Structure 1
Amino acid sequence: MFRVSFLFIILGFTCLSCKSEDKNNVAVAEENNVDDLLLARYDKLLSYKLDSIAFPRSYSHEIKEVKKVPSKDWTSGFFAGNLWQIYKLTGDKNFKQRAKEWTNFIEKEKYNHRTHDMGFKVFCSFGNGLDVEDNQNYKDIIVKSANTLITRFNENVGSIRSWDFGKDRWQFPVIIDNMMNLELLFEATKISGDSIYHKIAVKHANTTLKNHFRPDGSTWHVLDYDSISGQVRNRLTHQGFNDDSAWARGQGWAINGYTMVYRYTKDKKYLEGAEATANYFVNHKNLPEDGIPYWDFSHPDIPNISRDVSAGAIVASGLVELYKYTKNDAYLNYSKKVVNSLKSTHYILPENLEIPFILDHSFGDWSKRDEMDEPIVYGDYYFLETLLRLKNLD
C-alpha cells in the first residue's frame, strides 16, 4: 500500500512538473513569436523605397494605401528616427545606413520658419543620428534649426508660436505639443555654447506651466494669447473632443515634455508638473486595463470609441524617464504594461502586410476626422523609444 501510494505521489509530481514545463515552453514560444514578428515588422521599414518627398506617415485600412508626406510635414522626422532606434535596438548596420539616407532628406527643413515642429522633424532624425555618431554636420543642422525656431518666439507672450493657420479662431496659438520641440533648443545650447536657446526654452516652459495646466493635472490643448499684452485670450482644443476635455495624446506631450525639461534644468517645478499629469493619466477611471488609452478621456461614448496607441506609447516613454527621477514604481509599471500590451498580435501589424509601420490602432486628428484608428508613424517612434529606455534602464 505504501509503495503504491508513493508511486502515485511520484507520478503526481512528475505530471505537475510536466505541466509547469509545458506552460513555460508555451510562454517562451509566444515570446519568440512576438520577437520574430517585431523583427519582421522592422524589415518592412528597411525595405520601404527611398523617396525624398514621400515620407510614410500613416496607413488607411479602408483604401489600403500609405499616406506619404513631404519633409515640411510635422511627422517627417519620425520615420528616420524609427530606423535609428531600430539600429540601436538590433545593432544591424543596414538600419543605420537607411536611417542616414532618410535623415538627409530632412536637412532643408532647417530653414523652414513657418512651423514650430522643428524638434519633431529635425531632432527626431538628426538628433537620433547624433546619438549614434559624433557628426559635425548633424550638430550644425541642429543649431541652424534652433536659430530658425526661435524666430517664432514672442517676448510679450513668453512662448514660441505654434501655428500660422486658423487666424479666425486665435491670435497667437500655443499648443501643448510644442513642449516636445524644446529639446532641440536645449541641445543647441549644449552644442554651440550659446545660452539663448536654453533661455527661450525655459521661458516657453514657464509660460506653458503657468497657463496650460488644470487643477486636476490635466492640460488644455490650445491656448490663445494676446500677442501684445501676453494675456490669455482663450483656452480651447483643436484635436480633443471639446475645449474642456482631456485629449489623451496631449497629456502625453505634457508628461514627456516636462520630464525632458527637468532633465536639462533640474528645476523641481517641472518635475512636479510632469508628475501631476502623470498621476492624472495613470489613475484615471477611464484608462483601460491594458494601459492603452481611449483617444480622449472625456469622451461621452467611452468605451465605444477608438484607443490611441500613440498616446499610450508617448506616456510610456516619458514615464520610464520620470521613474528615473522619482523612483515611483507606478510609472515604471505602467510603461512595462504598455509594452507588454503592444507586443501582442492585437496591436502589432501582421507579417504579411507590406507597409512601413509596426503598430496598429493609433488615433490622429479628430478635427479633420483623419487617421482615426490606423498605423501612424509616431506611434511606432515612441514605442521604440520606450523599448530603448527600458533597455537602458536595465
Structure 2
Amino acid sequence: MSKTILSKNLLYLFFLFTIMACNTPQQAARINRNAPKGNTLLTETIDQRFKHAATQYKLMMEDLPDDKFPKTFVKNKNYFETSGPDWWTSGFYPGTLLYLFEETQDSTLQKEANRAMSILAKQQNNQKSADLGFIMYNSFGNAMKIEPAISYHKTLLTSAKTLAKRYNKKVKAIRSWDTKQNDKEFVIVIDHLMNLELLFWATHATGDSSYYKMAVNHAETVLKNNVREDYSTCQIVNLDTKTGKLKQRRNAQGYNDTSTWARGEAWVLYGLTVLYRETKDQKYLALAKNVADYILNHPNLPKDKIPYWDFDSPEIPNTYRDASAGAIMASSLLELSGYTQENGKTYFKAAEKMLETLASPAYTSLLGANGGFILMHGAGYIPVMAEVDVPLPYADYYYIQALKRYKAIVTGVRSNNASVVYP
C-alpha cells in the first residue's frame, strides 16, 4: 500500500466519523441497544483500519526476537525496545494479534500469537507477578474465545490460582508489589483492577465462587482507598498488612500525589465497567458513570477527547497526550454506553470522537513506521521521562478492542464467538 493510498484511507475514515448520523437507535445491535446508529459505510472503513493494523504487526514480527515481546519503539534512534515474558505488557502483543486475526482471518497472525503464547505459558506459575490478568487473560483468554481448548483452559485456571496466592484475607486485596517489609506494608496499584477479569473467568469456568469473592473484595478495597470523593483516582496506596488501614497515597506516574493520572483514571473506568458486567450490582454502574462523567466533563480534557498524561499537569496544553489512556477510555465507554439509557448516547459519542481522533493521521502510524506499532503518542512514565511520546503495546490493544466493539455496535454483528458479548 502506498503512502498516498494510506493517507486517503485515513482521511476517508476521519470524514466518515465526522458525518455519522447518531439520532436513531440501532435496534439490530445485540451488544449495545442504546447506542446510536452509525453510518453503514463506516464498517468498511474500519475494516481498512484492521487491515492496516494487521500489516503493521506482520512487519513487527520480522524484527521481533524469538524470545522477546514488543515494549516500544524509539523513533529518533530507530530503536525497537523489547521485554521478556514476565513484563506486564507481554500479553498485549498476542492479544492484539488475536483480535486482528478475528477481523482479517489472516492465519499468519494466529500462528504468531500461538508462538508468543507458547513463551508466555510458563508465566502461569509466576507467583511474583500481580500482572497475570494483563499477561495471561489478554492472551490465552482471547485465544479461548476464538477456539476453546483444554490447554488454554488449564493455563488460565492455573494463572488464576497463582494470582489468588497473592490475595490477603485480612486486607481483602491482592498484593500488587512485593517490598522488603511485606509483613508491615501492603501495596495496591490502581492498574491491577484489570486483573479481575481473570478471576471472574475462573468462577465462570469452575463454579468456584472464591475467585469471584476475591475479585469483588479487591475491588472494594481499591474503591475505598484509591478513588477520591470527586471520583478522581490515586495510583498507589500503601496499607497496613495486619489491619488493612490506609498508611499512604501516592502517584508514581502522575504529576503529584494529589493529581489525576490519566491512565489510572482509565483503568478505574474500565475496571468498574467490568465489575458491573460481572456482578450486576448497581453500585458499580453508578460509580462507573461518575468516573466517566469526571473524565468527560473535566475542563482539561481536549476537544478531540484524547487526554493529557495527567489531568492536573500545570503545563497543559503544552505537554504530552496519552493515546493509551484515550484507547482504554474509548473501549470502556463503548461497553458502558450499553448499560445506561440515560447516558448511553453521550458515552457512545465520546468514544466515537476518541476513535475518530486515534484513527486520524495525527495518531495512527504510517505503514512501516514506528516498528510496526499502530498508534503514536503514548505516555508511559512521564515523571522520570521514560517511554515519552512513543507507541505502546497496550495502546494498540485497547484501540483495536475499541474498534471491534464499535463495529459490533454499529453492525449488530458480534465477533466469531457469539457467546462472548464483549471482545
Determine the structure 2 residue equivalent to 1:156.
Answer: 170
Corresponding residue to 1:323 among 319, 322, 337: 337
Corresponding residue to 2:388 among 353, 369, 372: 372
Shift of 1:235: 1.1
Corresponding residue to 2:126 among 109, 112, 117: 112
Shift of 1:37: 6.5
SS of the counterpart of 1:173? strand
Identify if the C-alpha distance between structure 1 residues 234 and 64 changes in structure 2 by more than 3 Å, giving closer, same or farther: same
Shift of 1:51: 3.9
Corresponding residue to 1:393 among 409, 413, 419: 409
Q: TM-score, normalising length from structure 2? A: 0.83
- Within-5 A mapping of 1:12-31: 27=12
- Within-5 A mapping of 1:119-138: 119-138=133-152
SS of the counterpart of 1:62? helix
Larger Rg: 1
1:270 and 2:261 correspond: no
Whole-Å Cα distance in 2 between the matches of residues 82 and 308 of structure 1?
A: 19
Q: Is the 8 A contact 1:313 1:379 kept in 2?
A: yes
Determine the structure 1 residue equivalent to 2:350.
Answer: 334
Shift of 1:135: 1.0
1:76 and 2:68 correspond: no
Q: Is the 8 A contact 2:133 2:197 kept in 1?
A: yes
Whole-Å Cα distance in 1 between the matches of residues 227 and 53 of structure 2?
A: 38
Identify if the C-alpha distance between structure 1 residues 190 and 36 changes in structure 2 by more than 3 Å, giving closer, same or farther: closer
Shift of 1:27: 4.5
Q: Is the 8 A contact 1:123 1:142 kept in 2?
A: yes
Gaps of at least 5 residues in structure 1 are: 1-25
Q: Is the 8 A contact 2:196 2:215 kept in 1?
A: yes
Q: Is the 8 A contact 1:52 1:105 kept in 2?
A: no
* Sequence identity (%): 39
Q: Is the 8 A contact 1:56 1:356 kept in 2?
A: no
Corresponding residue to 2:313 among 281, 299, 302: 299
**Which one is further off, 299-308 or 206-215?**
206-215
Corresponding residue to 1:242 among 256, 280, 294: 256
Determine the structure 2 residue equivalent to 1:20.
Answer: none
> How far does the alpha carbon of each residue in 1:166-208 deviate from its partner, in whole angstroms, 9 at most, with x for none?
869x921101111000000000111122211111001101111
SS of the counterpart of 2:339? helix
Determine the structure 1 residue equivalent to 2:274.
Answer: 260
Whole-Å Cα distance in 2 between the matches of residues 60 and 286 of structure 1?
A: 28
Corresponding residue to 1:85 among 74, 96, 99: 99
Shift of 1:70: 0.5
Greater relative contact order (Cα 8 A, min sep 6): structure 1 or 2? 2
Count of aligned pairs: 368
Determine the structure 2 residue equivalent to 1:5.
Answer: none
Whole-Å Cα distance in 2 between the matches of residues 304 and 72 of structure 1?
A: 35
Identify if the C-alpha distance between structure 1 residues 41 and 393 changes in structure 2 by more than 3 Å, giving closer, same or farther: closer
Determine the structure 2 residue equivalent to 1:67.
Answer: 81
Displacement over 6 Å in runs of 4+: 28-35
Determine the structure 1 residue equivalent to 2:245.
Answer: 231
**Which one is further off, 364-373 or 281-290?**
364-373
Identify if the C-alpha distance between structure 1 residues 28 and 332 changes in structure 2 by more than 3 Å, giving closer, same or farther: closer
Determine the structure 2 residue equivalent to 1:42.
Answer: 54
1:356 and 2:356 correspond: no
Q: TM-score, normalising length from structure 1? A: 0.89
Whole-Å Cα distance in 2 between the matches of residues 386 and 362 of structure 1?
A: 16
Q: Is the 8 A contact 2:190 2:226 kept in 1?
A: yes
Whole-Å Cα distance in 2 between the matches of residues 384 and 291 of structure 1?
A: 17
Identify if the C-alpha distance between structure 1 residues 294 and 222 changes in structure 2 by more than 3 Å, giving closer, same or farther: same
Determine the structure 1 residue equivalent to 2:361.
Answer: 345
Q: Is the 8 A contact 2:331 2:351 kept in 1?
A: yes
Q: Is the 8 A contact 1:38 1:358 kept in 2?
A: no
